[in-house]
Amino acid sequence: MSTISLRISGIIARQELRIALRNRWIFVYAAIFTVLTTAVSYFGLSIIEFTGFQGFERTTASLLNLVLYIVPLAAMLMTVQSFTADGGCTDQLFTEPITRAEIVAGKLFGVSSALSLATLVGFGLPGVMIARETGTVGLGSYLVLVGYSLAIACSFCSIAALLTIAMQRSHRSYGVVLIAWFVMVLLYDLGIIGLGFLLPEGVANRVSYISLFLNPVDATRISTLLATVGKEMFGAAGVLLVRSLGGVSEALLLLGAALAGWIVLPGWLAALLLRRQDI
């Protein structure tokens, strides 16, 4: 595959960022994420008839599932919009003396940057209100969740780029990425649980461990919980998981490597596939 020029990719990324920021949907996403984050923090204990801002630790635990649903979906839809034939001046880029890999890298950097900015706004404004009302105890856990949210956003941008290019950058890509989101976010864990009932216990445990690295959603969930709550959150199963990986630090390192792989590998495959397409 052709060598990527960081300068050219940076130029494409800046143009893609400008296009994304002119798109009203990025502001809609930021606004929705801000409102939902604030609502989760304020009404998270309403089941016990308590309303008011929770501290950062409770807010982090309450927000995790929201992040795992919304951020991947937003990342995939924004990426498809960028990579489709009429998105982000893509066709014009193919007439320039630049490589396909530079186009993919630049567009991914630009889309990921726009999504990261919107996500930071969605976390930042509620975070200021939480700090003002409850103090900064547990802020570290909140920042860990922010970091993993950005990582899963980048991974799903890469996955969506690969799927969009595989579909020849047609509008059918929207349907394909929605199916992929549904499978990875909703059905994947159900399938692993089902296998756990069908397979012998030893085999089921090994399948469960391996499955953590085969889905960025699970890798993000477990990493966030391990980094903020610790292995005690999972009881005996959590202790067994950490022991099998050598400890909490080793588990976080391996899960982080898996997330990095989900960011890099799909993007690399997308560039390779685009290079072979006749456009």
Q: How far apart are CA 118 and CA 70, in angstroms?
A: 12
Contact 16, 111 (CB under 8 A): yes
Closest Cα partner for 274 from 96, 27, 101? 101
Q: What is the pTM of this model?
A: 0.88
pLDDT of residue 235 exceeding 60, the answer is no
Closest Cα partner for 72 from 173, 170, 186? 186
- Residue 23 gets which letter from DSSP? S
**Range in 41-55, 73-87, 135-149 with the lowest mean pLDDT:** 41-55
Q: Which of 126-130, 148-152, 209-213 has the highest mean pLDDT?
A: 148-152
% of the chain residues with pLDDT over 90? 33
AA identity, residue 145 = L
Q: How far apart are CA 109 and CA 107, in angstroms?
A: 5
